């Protein structure tokens, strides 16, 4: 009886966690598609072990889901300094209406610190041409 109850509780915890954290695509899938379409290099490891999501001829780019917009700013600026390239952020907006508030916040900071911003949505995943500069 104890094991059945434990199994049910663990199942609910695992299922609930997956539901909350689930995205339509993984960050690395958005990253791979966008970076490939823009002739970039993915997952470049810096000397200190930091991983740059995408490096193009022009930008050092961080990818993040919309609710993590503030975290993306710090990472993009760090990559920019480390690689001596302008900073860029691809903001992943899986729910564009809801995520618009995060994009507005990001754009306000990006304008002040000269960060290039792009966006991606799940519908972009089927259309590679949408990501070209």
For the segment 46-91, what is each residue's pLDDT rounded down to a tens digit?
Answer: 889 999 999 999 999 999 999 999 999 999 999 999 999 999 999 9
74 domain-assigned: yes
The parent domain of residue 57 ranges over 25-131
* Alpha-carbon span 88 to 116, nearest angstrom: 5
The domain total for the chain is: 1
Q: Is residue 4 part of a domain?
A: no
Task: Please report the pLDDT score of residue 132 as a whole number.
Answer: 52
- Asked, for residue 126, whether it belongs to a domain, the answer is yes
Q: What confidence tens digit (pLDDT) does each residue in 5-53 have?
A: 444 454 545 544 444 558 888 899 999 999 999 999 998 898 899 999 9
Is the residue at 85 inside a domain?
A: yes
């Amino acid at each position: 009886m104890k094991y059945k109850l434990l199994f049910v509780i663990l199942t609910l915890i695992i299922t609930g966690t997956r539901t909350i954290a689930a995205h339509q695509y993984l960050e690395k899938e958005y990253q791979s598609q966008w970076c490939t379409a823009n002739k970039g290099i993915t997952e470049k490891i810096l000397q200190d072990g930091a991983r740059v999501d995408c490096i193009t001829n022009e930008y050092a780019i961080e990818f993040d889901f919309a609710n993590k917009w503030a975290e993306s700013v710090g990472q993009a600026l760090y990559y920019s300094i480390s690689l001596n390239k302008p900073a860029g952020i691809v903001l992943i907006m899986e729910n564009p209406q809801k995520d618009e508030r995060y994009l507005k916040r990001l754009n306000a900071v990006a304008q002040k610190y000269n960060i290039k911003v792009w966006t991606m949505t799940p519908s972009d995943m089927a259309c590679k041409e949408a990501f070209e500069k």
